[in-house]
Amino acid sequence: MNYNIFTDGACSGNPGPGAWAFLVLTDGFGDEGKYSTSGAVEAATNQKMELQAVIEALKWITANGVEPFTAMITTDSVYVKDGVTSWLANWKQNGWKTRAKEPVKNRELWEEIDRLVSGLTLEWKWIEGHGEDENNKFVDKLAVKAVKELKRRLTCP
């Protein structure tokens, strides 16, 4: 089965309250072949939420996908796309240090992504955020909505 996954993260302030969202598209399940969800946390950065969106999508697809499957993960985060496709192997080889010999930021999230992608057949695609892609716009709206709902819950007695 082939899946198309769209992910996004959002923060209100950076750092600040944050949220993630993902959308999975395929034939044969859910509401017209679509499944989407989001979540929010009180304190995050935008990069952490971009990574968390991928983690949550990978957890979901691993638990619910019909195997064998392939997936195209589309993100508007260069950090996520380049991290997975270019940097991750070098970070691991260099003891989780960057080329500048600094500790990798968000290491715990990168380690979880590394664990989740192991053995999966995935392609990664970057698209410009807030562009023309309707699915990217959809997950952006989901993440922004989740942040707003969290902020409302935090400020209301």
Q: Give the separation between CA 38 and CA 148, rounded to whole angstroms.
A: 12
114 is catalytic: no
130 is catalytic: yes
Tell me whether residue 106 is exposed, middle or buried, using C-beta atoms within 10 angstroms of its C-beta: 0 to 12, 13 to 18, 19 or more. Answer: middle
| 131 secondary structure, DSSP code | S
8 is catalytic: yes
- Catalytic-role residue among 8, 18, 65, 83: 8
Q: Give the separation between CA 62 and CA 13, rounded to whole angstroms.
A: 32
- Catalytic-role residue among 31, 102, 130, 134: 130
- Catalytic-role residue among 18, 56, 65, 76: 76
31 is catalytic: no
123 is catalytic: no
- Catalytic-role residue among 56, 65, 83, 140: 140
131 is catalytic: no
- Catalytic-role residue among 9, 18, 65, 83: 9
Q: One-letter amino acid identity for 87?
A: W
Q: Give the separation between CA 131 and CA 7, rounded to whole angstroms.
A: 14
Q: Look up residue 154 and give its two tokens.
A: 């935090």
- Catalytic-role residue among 27, 42, 50, 95: 50
Which positions are catalytic?
A: 8-9, 50, 76, 130, 140
